[in-house]
Chains A and B, each alone.
Chain A
Amino acid sequence: SAVISQKPSRDICQRGTSLTIQCQVDSQVTMMFWYRQQPGQSLTLIATANQGSEATYESGFVIDKFPISRPNLTFSTLTVSNMSPEDSSIYLCSAQGSTDTQYFGPGTRLTVL
């Protein structure tokens, strides 16, 4: 299994600002993903973070709003840009290695005022 850490664990931000969330995996993994979990809801995939190339975004999510980087096989960042209160959510990083199981980080709880 993979051990995943995220920073920050939580933040309170002002409308119109941006926040970058970091995700670190303790081993090299093939796939890394970013999810959003809105209050009381299940998980929604934002994008797949591709190493060395642009991320693959799901319907309803765009690069200008959620730019993603993945410089190597153990690290990725998600930026939430030009935030509004509707972006208040938990953002989760996950990783999938040689097996088909995705392991999740502890999440980043974002509140936008």
Chain B
Amino acid sequence: EDQVTQSPEALRLQEGESSSLNCSYTVSGLRGLFWYRQDPGKGPEFLFTLYSAGEEKEKERLKATLTKKESFLHITAPKPEDSATYLCAVPLNDYKLSFGAGTTVTVRA
């Protein structure tokens, strides 16, 4: 069965302490992998799409990478405003997204 698994469930960081989040998937024939950020009480905000192994995308302190079995979201020198839940998702067909459970990141000043 197609599956998307994120780890860890929660991550507590000190400001400036870099770390990585993992998203592993078992979808066959990957059509892309999406990363979203979700703040409490708000809808997911699109961050990145990755399509092929070896691809990397960057935005401010975030960098997403993709291999054949997983994706990593690296947070470099995080700030408190990077605190959020980060979701990854893969399409099961042309439009249906399967979401992971998310990683909740808390960055302390």
Contacts and interface: CB of A to CB of B under 8 A. Distances in A.
Interface residues of B, number: 22
A96 interface: yes
Contacts of A102: 34, 46, 95, 97
Given A1-B46, A43-B44, A109-B41, A96 B95 contact: yes
B101 interface: yes
A92 B97 CA distance: 14
Contacts of B91: 100
A109 B32 CA distance: 30
Given A41-B101, A106-B42, A48 B34 contact: no
Contacts of B21: none
A43 B88 CA distance: 11
Contact of B96 (A45, A90, A101, A104): A45
Interface of A is mostly: strand
B43 A107 contact: yes
A107 B32 CA distance: 25
Contacts, number: 51
A31 B95 contact: yes
A73 to B, nearest CB: 15
Given A42-B87, A100-B32, A106 B95 contact: no
Contacts of B100: 42
A107 B34 contact: no
Given A92-B43, A101-B34, A104-B44, A48 B95 contact: yes
Interface of A: 1, 4, 31, 33, 41-43, 45, 48, 58, 90, 92, 94, 96, 100-107, 109
